[in-house]
Homo-oligomer: A and B are copies of this chain.
């Protein structure tokens, strides 16, 4: 079943290609529930005093009346509604989306995400280390853009590589504000005239963090506003599959060249710090079965304030309460829950050692058994 689905997807999904055309139409042509992550950097040609263009590039009549201002917002909102709905349809149930915007459009993006049932997980601030100053001294230096990370729905089991991001951040939790420089220098793609190939090329560092944090190797990442293909280049490098959609041929060409030049990291380079949750579950009974602890042996809480005794079936008894290592620990502490593996200790040579050590030994043996012989 899973294999069949995989095959069907592989046939239907234009993996690792840049699809020409309007992103709404293209997304509507793709199979439902087929991509893991969407990254979208939609146009925010809003209120720029100049012309406002519809998604099909037709020009909205210039306006300065109040009601017409509203009509401009309405056009932008309708566009947002359409492409977000198309994006949501092709997301897997446990998929997620990132969108990026500035104050011109991000409030409308966020509100529409919520209206459609996406579940916001974080808003993230891209703090620019080298923003353009406010030349006229009339406002604050606009030194950031806003990203929104949202699951397809409230109960989506979204991917989040917590430990990897924590490791990336010197061992403390990654915060919602990220300091990343603008895309400049050699990374900034130029056209044949030496001008920048795209006005809003995003830095690879930004996509690197996003893709590392919220996908796993082999996942499918789709970008409906592909531009010069930062999403595709970083996805390829990190061993993810990508789908790009881009209307402008000039951008598609630049992006394709760029991706062709990009090297995919080999599998060993893709490993990141994993979560304990992903490791195989080991019942405490296994520890007793294997004789690592024997029935009747005593367990101690830290500080030895509480003592419990191991029983042959892997339950323990302490203070006349019987149950699992977790239940007895929670009871003795008067706490709603307790991780018995880290709470209880056994004595060796007069020292207290957490029983989690024993679980780690068992896990190491399991892994050794499952690893193919070299």
Chain A residues packing against B (C-beta within 8 Å) = 51, 53, 57, 66, 69-70, 73, 102-104, 106-111, 113-115, 117, 120-125, 127, 131, 133-134, 137-144, 146, 148-149, 160, 162-163, 165-166, 173-177, 275, 277, 333, 335-338
Which of B73, B275, B336 contacts A53 (CB under 8 A)? Answer: B336
Chain B proximity of A44: nearest CB distance (Å)? 12
Q: Are B148 and A103 in contact (CB under 8 A)?
A: yes
Q: Are A57 and B117 in contact (CB under 8 A)?
A: no
Q: Are A69 and B117 in contact (CB under 8 A)?
A: yes
Q: Are B138 and A160 in contact (CB under 8 A)?
A: yes
Q: Are A137 and B277 in contact (CB under 8 A)?
A: yes
Q: Are B124 and A140 in contact (CB under 8 A)?
A: yes
> Within 8 Å CB of A134, what residues of B?
173
In the complex, A123→B149 CA distance in Å? 18
Which of B115, B121, B143, B174 contacts A176 (CB under 8 A)? Answer: B143
Q: Are B162 and A115 in contact (CB under 8 A)?
A: no
Which of B111, B124, B140, B174 contacts A107 (CB under 8 A)? Answer: B111
Listed by A's residue number, 9 A-B pairs whose Cβ atoms lie within 8 Å are A57-B338, A103-B123, A107-B107, A107-B108, A107-B109, A107-B113, A122-B139, A140-B173, A143-B177
Chain B proximity of A212: nearest CB distance (Å)? 13
Do A120 and B141 contact each other (CB < 8 Å), given the known contacts A115-B73, A125-B177, A127-B177? no
- 5 more contacts with CB within 8 A, not counting A103-B123, A140-B149, are A107-B113, A127-B177, A137-B162, A140-B165, A140-B173
Chain B proximity of A217: nearest CB distance (Å)? 21
> Within 8 Å CB of A66, what residues of B?
117
In the complex, A120→B106 CA distance in Å? 12
Q: Are A175 and B336 in contact (CB under 8 A)?
A: no
- Return the chain B residue nearest A334 by Cβ: B57
In the complex, A140→B102 CA distance in Å? 20
> Within 8 Å CB of A110, what residues of B?
103, 106-108, 110-111
- Return the chain B residue nearest A69 by Cβ: B117
Q: Are A131 and B73 in contact (CB under 8 A)?
A: no
Q: Are B139 and A121 in contact (CB under 8 A)?
A: yes
Q: Are A144 and B73 in contact (CB under 8 A)?
A: no
> Within 8 Å CB of A139, what residues of B?
121-122, 160
Q: Are A173 and B133 in contact (CB under 8 A)?
A: yes
Chain B proximity of A306: nearest CB distance (Å)? 15
In the complex, A139→B134 CA distance in Å? 33
Q: Are A177 and B144 in contact (CB under 8 A)?
A: yes
> Within 8 Å CB of A103, what residues of B?
110, 120, 122-123, 148
